[in-house]
A and B are shown apart, each in its own frame.
Chain A
Amino acid sequence: MRIHTVQRRKLQNVGRFILNIPLMLVILVPLLYTFSISVMPPDEIYGNHLIPTSVKFTNYIQAFTNPYYNFPRMILNSFIVATTVMLGQMVTCSLAAFSFSFLEFKGKKLLFLAVLATMMVPGEVTIIANYLTMMRWGWLDSYRALTFPFLTSAMGVFLLRQYYLTFAKELYEAAKLDGCSNLRFLGSIVVPLSRPALGALGAYVFLNTWNQYMWPLLVTNSRNYRTVQIGISMLYDIDAVSLGLMMAGVVIVIVPSLSIFVFMNKQLINGLMSGAVKG
């Protein structure tokens, strides 16, 4: 009997593979084609070639070494900005989520609703106002301008609060009885226990910040603070487009986002699902 179930499971696995491979191809082909174009000689790009006849990395070398594009600097900038925003949100959101879940105070519900309400305002509405504020403060062209407006988010507060609500209230009460302060309880009990949710939030925020385009374009002018997404648009021109170079830029830029998905895949899925069912 046991052998039978093992065999059946194997068969099921094979079935899953057969179903998944076409799906994987559909998703991966554009990415692979992007890479393929980036190493193609220019006259093959429009010549109905899927795979280049000869592989050349000149586009990558150009993107990396041409001082006009200065990709290494832009990658560094993107890393600094995305990491700062990620850490900032993890700190502020877990603090806010803690008070919205464990503490009892007047107007808690109203305050939480107000926080949630900000999720309904799309970023495009506030972008010009925020830009003008940054300009008045003289913050343009700095890491401050790139990170400050994003150091907290309603979505992060919400995600973590939902996760904290799953914790037994007794945990908090016991800690309190033993004389544990709120901050210590958050630091040594809540945070270690909510690693999946925090990890998911971190990865999500990092990717979002990494992919930002309009805001960095608005608040930076000098090349010292430009981020990678602007680097890609620097490779494009309406009249003189060099697809190979652009695709090389795209590949360079998606490597970090892809690796985040690969390394944090498990946490991303576990964490984002965690708020869905209150248990």
Chain B
Amino acid sequence: MKKTLALILVGLLAVSLAFAAGSKETVAKDAGPVKITFWHAMGGVNGEAIASMVAEFNALNAGKIEVTSEFQGSYDEEFAKLQASGGNYPCDIVQIYDIGSRYMIDSGWVLPVQEYVKKDNWNVNQIEPNIAAYYTIDGTLYSMPFNSSTPLLYYNKTAFDEAGITKVPTSFEEIYEVAEKLRVVNPDGSVKRYGFGMGNYGWFFEQWMGKQGLHYVNNNNGRGEQYATAVAFDQNGGGLEIVKVWDKVLKEGISPYLNIGNDDAKAAFISGNIAMTLESTAALKSLLLNIGDRFELGVGYFPNIHKNDVGGVSVGGGSLWMLNTGDTRREDATWEFLKFMISPEQQAIWNVKTGYFPITVAAAETETFKQNIAQYPQFQVAIDQLHDTAPQYAGALLSIFPEARTTVEGYIARLANRTVDAKGAVEGMARDINKALEEYNLVNY
């Protein structure tokens, strides 16, 4: 017995020694360029664009600042990784999706960009006001907008021409009408092409609240002095209006049910099985590439629920958050990097390579941007739509937004299966989200 005990002790000692050796590596060095780490969630061509922008920044600041960009999976995965490790400040700057904003603010790990705006006397008006509005709470710009997009209506222009439709629908009343004309039925009675189709994507629900000029949650849409404590879409009736549209579209066969997320809707649209769909502005280039010469692509504003709605769209996508590492040299370097990333030239390049908005007003003056608009005139519609909205429709801030979005999608799926009606779906969404919100608030505030 003694022998085993001794053995265990020796083993423990050896193990702990090995680990002690490992932890010594994290000694900061003051010499050489300031090294900062940038976490992002951009895959594919977007990730390549980030890599080349970072490389350019490093070349310009050789010997002074060295940025390492690291891909951390999808938005959700990156967010989860940060949630697990955020208190240890694993990076200096991190790209977080729009719906993670409230969580970031509450986390206490963040250095609001506003502090450097003040310190550097930097003019915030350089940023598109309707984009800056989303990330500004109580006059404080928390994070730097970076990859911003809004939803759009994409349509098959060739099909529109064949059906003799000249006016692009702007509300669902018009969509019903147009979709009827665009619908093609096989001789056996099955539908060959639907006039309209949209994915079960919670983002649209949020957008339609703003389009109706209504709030998604209480306390000034979560942007007031107090954080949101309950949803508002059930009380103000906005949620029911949206779900009724979804219900009608599915029940009357105006659109097939295209599953959660937007991939199936996109695939159906590209292959010509639906003539109109809803998708992010950032998808324009990949849509054009995949459609090829099969049909001409048209773009319109994201449709209103009702003709006379007064609101506007809000931006989605992501922004760059500075972490409060406490190391002034690194924070200064991070600010320099941020300024570079949103400089007009870089934003114009970013826009061309990815299809996200240039978030800087002056980017519109650059040659790069002008050439891009000439090549893809469809993008002008996206820009116009962005300019036509207003800061008060910036959208909600909600700590549990990722969960809320999943809840909404879950109830829409049940609506499609006819296991719940429109009214029940809204009630269910409100109940589930409120419960999650209450739990979150209890634990975190």
Contact = CB atoms under 8 A, between A and B. Distances in A.
B73 interface: yes
Shortest Cβ-Cβ A-B pairs, 10 listed: A43-B292, A239-B282, A46-B270, A237-B43, A237-B44, A46-B271, A138-B22, A138-B23, A221-B70, A236-B43
Given A42-B289, A135-B88, A217-B72, A239 B47 contact: no
Interface in A130-150: 131-132, 135-139
B22 A239 contact: no
B23 A239 contact: no
The prevalent SS among residues of B at the interface is helix
A266 B254 CA distance: 53
B423 to A, nearest CB: 32
Contacts of B23: 136-138
10 contacts: A68-B48, A217-B72, A222-B70, A237-B45, A237-B46, A238-B75, A239-B283, A240-B46, A241-B263, A243-B290
Interface residues of A, number: 37
A155 interface: no
B51 interface: yes
Interface string B283-315: 101100111111000000000000000000000
Interface stretch (B77-85, B209-217, B344-352, B403-411): B77-85
B44 A240 contact: yes
Contacts of B22: 137-139
Contacts of A65: none
Interface of A: 41-48, 66, 68, 128, 131-132, 135-139, 214, 217-218, 221-223, 230, 233-243, 245
> Counting chain B CB atoms within 10 Å of each CB, which of A46, A214, A222, A239 scores highest?
A239
B355 A234 contact: no
B42 interface: yes
Given A132-B85, A217-B81, A241-B263, 9 more contacts: A43-B293, A43-B294, A68-B47, A217-B73, A223-B70, A236-B43, A236-B74, A240-B282, A241-B44
A46 B267 contact: yes
A243 B85 CA distance: 32
Contacts of B355: 239-240
A136 to B, nearest CB: 7
Interface residues of B, number: 47
B44 A245 contact: yes
B84 A237 contact: no
B343 interface: no
A5 B356 CA distance: 71
A43 B42 contact: no
A239 B149 contact: yes
A47 B282 contact: no
B143 interface: no
B171 interface: no
A244 to B, nearest CB: 9
B37 interface: yes
B354 interface: yes
A128 to B, nearest CB: 5
Interface string B1-39: 000000000000000000100111110000000000100
B376 interface: no
A236 B70 CA distance: 15
Nearest to B85: A135
A132 B83 CA distance: 11
A49 to B, nearest CB: 10
Contacts, number: 107
B351 to A, nearest CB: 13
Contacts of B354: 239-240
Interface in B40-91: 42-48, 51, 68, 70-75, 77, 81, 84-85, 88, 90
Nearest to B72: A217
Interface in B240-270: 263, 267, 270
B200 interface: no
Contacts of A43: 289-294
A211 B292 CA distance: 34
A103 to B, nearest CB: 14
Contact of B44 (A46, A221, A242): A242
Nearest to A44: B292
> Counting chain B CB atoms within 10 Å of each CB, which of A43, A217, A237 scores highest?
A237
Nearest to A127: B84
B156 interface: no
Interface string B268-280: 0011000000001
A108 to B, nearest CB: 14
A149 B71 CA distance: 23
B319 to A, nearest CB: 15
Contacts of A230: 71, 73
A221 B44 CA distance: 17
A230 B37 CA distance: 19
B384 to A, nearest CB: 20
Contacts of B280: 239
B271 A48 contact: yes
Interface in B121-165: 149
A112 B312 CA distance: 64
Contacts of A136: 23
> Counting chain B CB atoms within 10 Å of each CB, which of A46, A139, A243 scores highest?
A46
A66 B52 CA distance: 12
Contacts of A218: 81, 84
Contact of B286 (A47, A128, A242): A242
A131 B149 contact: no
A138 B26 CA distance: 7
A130 B395 CA distance: 37
Contact of B283 (A44, A68, A240): A240
A131 to B, nearest CB: 6
Nearest to B77: A217
Contacts of B290: 42-43, 45-46, 243
Interface in B334-364: 354-356
B40 to A, nearest CB: 11
Contacts of A217: 72-73, 77, 81
A132 B294 contact: no
Contacts of A245: 44
